[in-house]
Amino acid sequence: MARFGLLVFLAAAAAGAAAATVDQQVFPGNTDNKWDWNDCGTDSHLVHIQSISISPDPPQRGKDLTITVEGIADEDITEGAYAEVTVKAGVIKLLQKEFDICEEAEKANTTVQCPVEKGTHKVVQTVTLPKEIPPAKFNVAIRGFTEDDEDLACMDLMMDFRLRFMP
């Protein structure tokens, strides 16, 4: 879970820093349409996200964004796990990168570090969103894998920084 919590952190950081997202996906949760997430994992995935919350809600350019992720790891997660992150704005791919999850967790000094034991975990991480984020809707696809290339986690995240005008 810690690794997946870190994946969410990476997704938010990528959305802010690189400004991006995945095509017109349906996100069932958040009704204000400024952000949402979807655990696209199956029973074969080792990490299952239970909840994600952010503060402030909705996210704001140039402000700190705190992300809280809760989930369950079905097995211990060890060094070598990695995440493939793709960030798009509409159909335009802005970023596609692979991250070493344990290395990124260490760099970010997250509350949960590798190895991550089987069980329930909660990760809270704060990132500063750049003021320069363009007014666009960003989709972030995060696919996590173990060192043996087994499915670890699957999540899609959407953040909408488009300007809204009141009628």
Residue 20: its pLDDT value, please?
A: 30
Contact present, 52 and 152 (Cβ < 8 Å) = no
Distance (Å, whole) CA 121 – CA 1: 6
According to the model, what pLDDT value does residue 99 have? 93
Question: Which pLDDT score, from 0 to 100, does residue 9 have?
Answer: 42
Contact 138, 20 (CB under 8 A): yes
Tokens of 128: 């500063």
Residue 12: which of 70, 61, 81 has the closest Cα? Answer: 61
Write out pLDDT tens, residues 90-130.
889 999 999 999 998 888 888 888 999 999 999 888 889 89
- Category of 139 on φ-ψ map: left (φ > 0), alpha (ψ -120 to 50) or beta: beta
CA distance 8 to 11: 5
* Rg of the chain over all Cα atoms, to the nearest angstrom: 15
pLDDT confidence of 58, banded at 50, 70, 90? confident
Report H helices in the chain. 2-17, 101-107
Burial readout 122-149 (b: 16 or more C-beta within 10 A, e: otherwise): ebbbebebeeebeebbbbbbbbbbbeee
Residue 162 has pLDDT above 80, yes or no: yes
| Domains of the chain listed by start with CATH number | 2-160 (2.70.220.10)
State how far the Cα of 75 lies from the Cα of 54, in Å rounded to an integer.
27
pLDDT at 138: 92
The pLDDT assigned to 86 comes to 96
Share of the chain above pLDDT 70, in %: 79
State the average pLDDT for the chain.
Answer: 81
pLDDT at 4 over 80: no
